């Protein structure tokens, strides 16, 4: 049986100034990891790292716009210099533009693909260098049930997440024999700022989300984080190139 302790491990989470990314950072920190939060929002990110340090964790914040490959390469070098290695890298940064496909502005399409698909690739490529050299490491991609099957009004989001799940398979099989695992989770709806924004804009309701979910409730941030901690641990040593739904039954459910 593998271990789920992260003592002595260094874990990086992108887009982790708040939301699910912060929750993952909090849980990895609790499990003993040195946790590196990264985001485009320096103010929120620094405050988030401060909160973790106040709780006794070894937490740090670095600015990282995942759309810029050069930034992720520089940051990976810096973290390896400061902490010796990167054990786990979580591609979590995300944006959610909504609206009819026929009128989705090109810049919103581009940003979605750049952040959630290309960004995850650039970061994976950057962190693969020290991980492959060491023959050890785990990359976790945060996909979505909308990447498994689309819902209307989310064309860019769903396409980016479907691509991300394909990326998990592609990198997973390519690096499998070299000690690097690439895994993913596909959560259904969890209450974060991203979801609150959609509710405020009137593009969805909590009732509709609950009705769509066999468990009849939204997910909790720590339920996603716990699955990520499991997949990134030695307890999941034989799992790679796979995305696990964390969805209260959503993807299995044929709504009628």
Ligand X SMILES: NC(=O)c1ccc[n+]([C@@H]2O[C@H](COP(=O)([O-])OP(=O)(O)OC[C@H]3O[C@@H](n4cnc5c(N)ncnc54)[C@H](O)[C@@H]3O)[C@@H](O)[C@H]2O)c1
CA distance 137 to 14: 16
Q: How far is the CB of 80 from ligand X (least distance, A)?
A: 20
Q: How far is the CB of 122 from ligand X (least distance, A)?
A: 10
State CA 53 to chain mean position distance: 22
Phi, psi of 190 (to 5 degrees): -130, 135
CB of 111 to ligand X, least distance (A): 8
User: Active site includes 122?
Assistant: no
Backbone φ, ψ for residue 41 (5° rounding)? -100, 95
Which of 11, 115, 131, 180 lies at the binding interface for ligand X (CB under 6 A)?
115
- Binding range to ligand X, per CB under 6 A, among 1-9, 130-138, 148-156, 191-199: 191-199
By CB under 6 A, residue 245 contacts ligand X: no
In angstroms, the CA 131 to CA 229 distance is: 18
Using CB under 6 A as the binding rule, whether residue 51 contacts ligand X is answered as: no
**In the range 63-92, which residues lie near ligand X by CB under 6 A?**
64-67, 92
Query: Is 135 in contact with 177 (CB distance < 8 Å)?
Result: no
Structure-token pair, residue 21: 């990314």
Please give the Cα distance from 105 to 71 (Å, whole number): 26
DSSP 3-state of 246: strand
Residue nearer to ligand X on the CB measure, 18 or 25: 18
Query: What does the CA dihedral 33, 189, 198, 161 come to, rounded to 10 degrees?
Result: 70
Check: CB of residue 25 under 8 Å from CB of residue 92. Answer: no
Q: Which residue has the tokens 């190139």?
A: 241
Q: From the candidates 122, 157, 209, 238, which is the catalytic residue? A: 157
- Can residue 12 be called a binding residue for ligand X (CB under 6 A)? no
The count of chain residues that interact with ligand X, using the rule CB under 6 A, is 29
14 counts as binding ligand X under rule CB under 6 A: yes
Please identify which residue in 4, 104, 113, 194 interacts with ligand X, judged by CB under 6 A: 194
Task: State yes or no: residue 247 binds ligand X (CB under 6 A).
Answer: no
Task: Quote the tokens at residue 142.
Answer: 């945060």
**Nearest residue to ligand X on Cβ basis:** 19
Among 10, 12, 13, 15, binds ligand X (CB under 6 A): 15
172: helix, strand or coil: helix
If one asks whether residue 234 binds ligand X (CB under 6 A), the answer comes out as no
- Catalog residues that contact ligand X under the rule CB under 6 A: 14-15, 17-21, 39-41, 64-67, 92-95, 115-116, 142, 144, 187, 189-190, 192-195
Show which residues are catalytic.
157
């Amino acid at each position: 049986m593998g271990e789920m302790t992260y003592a002595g491990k260094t874990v990086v989470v992108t887009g982790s100034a708040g939301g699910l990314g912060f929750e993952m950072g909090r849980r990895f920190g609790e499990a003993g990891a040195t946790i590196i939060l990264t985001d485009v929002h320096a103010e929120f990110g620094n405050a988030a790292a401060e909160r973790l340090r106040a709780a006794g964790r070894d937490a740090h914040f670095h600015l990282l716009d995942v759309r810029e490959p050069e930034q992720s390469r520089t940051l990976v070098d810096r973290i390896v210099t400061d902490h010796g290695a990167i054990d786990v890298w979580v591609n979590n940064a995300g944006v959610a533009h909504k609206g009819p496909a026929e009128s989705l502005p090109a810049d919103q399409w581009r940003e979605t693909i750049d952040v959630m698909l290309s960004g995850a690739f650039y970061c994976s490529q950057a962190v693969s260098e020290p991980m492959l050299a060491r023959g050890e490491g785990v990359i976790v991609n945060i996909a979505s049930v909308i990447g498994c099957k689309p819902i209307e009004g989310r064309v860019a989001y769903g396409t980016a997440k479907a691509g991300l799940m394909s990326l998990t398979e592609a990198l997973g099989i390519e690096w499998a024999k070299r000690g690097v695992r690439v895994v993913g989770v596909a959560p259904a709806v969890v209450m974060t700022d991203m979801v609150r924004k959609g509710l405020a804009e009137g593009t969805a309701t909590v009732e509709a989300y609950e009705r769509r979910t066999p468990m009849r409730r939204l997910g909790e941030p720590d339920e996603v984080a716990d699955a990520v901690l499991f997949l990134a641990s030695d307890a999941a040593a034989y799992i790679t190139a796979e995305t696990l739904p964390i969805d209260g039954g959503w993807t299995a459910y044929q709504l009628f």
